[in-house]
Structure 1
Amino acid sequence: MPITLTTDSGSFQVSTQDSSLLDTLERTGHQIEYQCRQGYCGACRTPLTSGTVTYTTDPLATVAPGSILPCCCKADSDIKLAVTAIV
Structure 2
Amino acid sequence: MVTIKDHKTVQHSPPNSLLESIEQHNIEVQFHCREGYCGACRSKLICGEVEYTTDPLAFIDDDEILPCCCVPIGDIEIALG
Q: Distance in 1 between matches of 2:15 and 2:22?
A: 10
Q: Do the aligned partners of 1:16 and 1:75 also contact (CA within 8 Å) in 2?
A: no
Aligned to 1:76: 73
Runs of at least 4 residues off by over 2 Å: none
Q: Give the aligned length.
A: 80
Backbone CA RMSD of aligned residues: 1.6
Give 5+ residue unaligned stretches, structure 1.
none
Superposition deviation, residue 30 in structure 1: 1.4
What is the TM-score with the length of structure 1 in the denominator? 0.83
Larger radius of gyration between Structure 1 and Structure 2 = 1
Specify the code of the residue in structure 1 equivalent to 2:7: S
Q: Structure 2: where are the runs of 5+ without partners?
A: none
- Report how far residue 18 of structure 1 moved: 3.8
Identical residues among aligned pairs (%): 43
**Distance (whole Å) between structure 2 residues aligned to residue 63 and residue 18 of structure 1:** 23
